[in-house]
Amino acid sequence: MNPAQLPTASVSELPDADLTLVDVREHDEWAAGHAPGAVHIPLGELPARLEELAELPDDQPLYIVCRTGGRSARATAWLNASGWEAVNVAGGMKSWRTEGRPVVAERPNAAPEIL
């Protein structure tokens, strides 16, 4: 898929409700800070964990996010080529945080941060 044709949305364009967000960052990045309710499937594990995506609501696209948008663009292109409806989140979790969207951490007693 041509990068210019890749379905992409900015954080400000994302729906506030019924958002299915898939975070493809690594485990340490996820633990440091992620969007509440997001599904975590690191990019390298995506092909082996497609059954988890099949359990998600299918009445809307999967919004794919990483740190700044590079890995999520690759995941979005691969998912769309594999028959999924996926949209890359431009700017990733860095933009998510900048836009004031909530972030939670998995690390005890640590403030959420985007790695």
Q: Which residues are catalytic?
A: 66
Question: Distance between CA atoms of 97 and 76, rounded to whole angstroms?
Answer: 21
First to last CA, the chain: 28
* Sequence-ordered alpha helix ranges (H) in the chain: 27-32, 50-54, 70-81, 92-98
Based on DSSP, count helices (H) and strands (E) in the chain, helices before strands. Answer: 4, 5
